[in-house]
Amino acid sequence: MLIRFNEARKLDTPQKTFLMEAIDLALEQLDLSDTDLAKIESAYKGVGTYLASCEHPLLLDAQVYPQGSVRLRTTVKPLSKEEFDVDLILFLPHAGNATRDEINDVVWRHLKDSMVYGPLAEKLARGFRINYAGNYHLDITPAVKYTERVLPGQPLWVVDKRTQFKESNPEGFALTFDEACQVVPKILQVRSFYEALSAEMIQELPDQSDKKPLNRIAQVIKRHRDVWADDEDNRYGEYKPISVLLTTLATLAYLKVASSGKVFDSEFDLLLDVLELMPVFIEEVNGEYLVANPSMQEENYAEKWNRIEKMEGLKLRQAFYEWHRTAISDLEAVANSSHQGMDMVFASLSSTFGERPVNAARDRIVETISMSRSKGNLGVVLGTGAIAAVTSKAAQSAGARPTPIAPVKRNNFYGGK
């Protein structure tokens, strides 16, 4: 049964725009900074250069490149007690005839020979981890060329503890995601709440020109998943849905709604549609669950959902549906809070996305509202009480749906005239 939003869809467009703007500003606090990205890039290039310097034939011309959220630009900084996980592929062009054990042994010995990487290295089911002091680590998955058939991207065989090798095509998925990001639906709200309030303030925001709605939707979903799983009373927390599964379902849902021809009042409506439809794209084939890599059907991101031992698969499936139900319930609560004042809105957002980023977003919005009020370009939507910007007729004629707004008078706190 498809769980649908009810209260969130009843909000007026200014209310929805304000909520999406607050969420967007909160998520900006969780983007990796240029400094973070530079550190990560330097770290994985250093490891790649070191591994490629090995004289062993299997490591000749080795290449290291990022996969996952860094590649997709959907990273969210982890909760305070977690580390950021940087996923890397170690492509070995001359190791196609080697066994998994041969590849792992060579890579492991070379890592342990290093005074830099040796003390930081540990083994994983699909490769190795380099544990840096700080808030991130590198997960390195050795891989060889996939030769079964021609596919987009770079199809691979990656090492795997259970099956020796598994099909994988992270670059193919990344290309699919990039293409989906270019499908941008028509959204009537052409000016954001924050931008409309203060053109000067918007210039201080980081450059998000390469962030599309799908990038941000994926971040919203992953952040909510993290906060949901961190709840100490959540019995499903340790079985939280993996990021690539959530991102795949969000991508498929996004393509469905963005290509439908529907005109959205705001990006908030787009987020609601994507969240609702995500479970529709979970398939059952021959009694097993399937969420396939769109660029390689053999790669099943829901593979663990089919495991029987210790009821692991059942618990993973239950965790996904419990997360999905909670995500809709939490956004419904956020929508309800918009009728109870700004303090309640931010309290509701904090419980959904975490206090630190939401508090930062609140401070910026409050500062902007104060400046806009003093300039006389702050208003209240008639009939709802929602805060809005007093926009010009020229802005409305450019495509914004006209909304009856009453200006808020300047507040003189010192009694002057």
Task: Give pLDDT tens digits for 41-78.
Answer: 899 899 989 988 888 999 999 999 999 998 999 999 88
What is the pLDDT, as a whole number, of residue 404? 46
Whole-Å CA distances, 308 to 299, 305, 316: 19, 9, 11
Percent of the chain with pLDDT over 90: 68
* Calculated CA dihedral for residues 95, 96, 101, 105, nearest 10 degrees: 10
Q: Which of 184, 203, 359 is nearest to 270 (CA)?
A: 184
Residue spans of the domains in the chain: they are 7-30+178-365, 35-168
What is the pLDDT, as a whole number, of residue 193? 57
Tokens (6 digits) for 261: 């021809």
Report helix angle 213-230 to 243-258, nearest 10: 140
What is the pLDDT, as a whole number, of residue 398? 40
What is the pLDDT, as a whole number, of residue 415? 37
What is the pLDDT, as a whole number, of residue 36? 84
What is the pLDDT, as a whole number, of residue 94? 96
Q: Which of 221, 390, 258, 268 is nearest to 12 (CA)?
A: 268
What is the pLDDT, as a whole number, of residue 406? 41
Whole-Å CA distances, 408 to 339, 372, 377, 389: 18, 10, 8, 10
pLDDT in tens, the chain (417 residues): 789 999 999 999 889 999 999 999 999 999 888 888 888 889 989 998 998 888 899 999 999 999 999 899 999 988 877 788 889 999 999 999 999 999 999 999 999 999 999 999 999 999 999 998 877 899 999 999 999 999 999 999 999 999 999 999 999 999 999 999 999 899 886 455 555 554 433 323 233 346 799 999 999 999 999 999 999 999 999 999 999 999 999 999 999 999 999 999 999 999 999 999 999 999 999 999 999 999 999 999 999 999 999 999 999 999 999 999 999 999 999 999 999 988 999 999 999 999 999 999 999 888 877 776 666 655 544 444 445 554 444 334 444 444 444 444 444 333 343
As a CATH number, domain 35-168 is: 3.30.460.10
Tokens (6 digits) for 89: 């592929």
**SS3 track for the chain:** CCCCCCHHHHCCHHHHHHHHHHHHHHHHCCCCCHHHHHHHHHHHHHHHHHHHCCCCHHHCCCEEEECCHHHHCCCCCCCCCCCEEEEEEEECCCCCCCCHHHHHHHHHHHHHCCCCCHHHEEEECCEEEEECCCCEEEEEEEEEECCCCCCCCCCEEEEECCCEEEEECHHHHHHHHHHHHCCCCCECCCCCHHHHHCHHHHCCCCCCCCCCHHHHHHHHHHHHHHHHHHCCCCCCHHHCCCHHHHHHHHHHHHHHHHCCCCCECCHHHHHHHHHHHHHHHCEEECCEEECEECCEEEEECCHHHHCCHHHHHHHHHHHHHHHHHHHHHHHHHHHHHCCCCHHHHHHHHHHHHCHHHHHHHHHHHHHHHHHHHHHCCEEEECCCCCEEECCCHHHHHCCCCCCCEEECCCCCCCCCC
pLDDT in tens, 250-286: 999 999 999 999 999 999 999 999 999 999 999 999 9
What is the pLDDT, as a whole number, of residue 79? 86
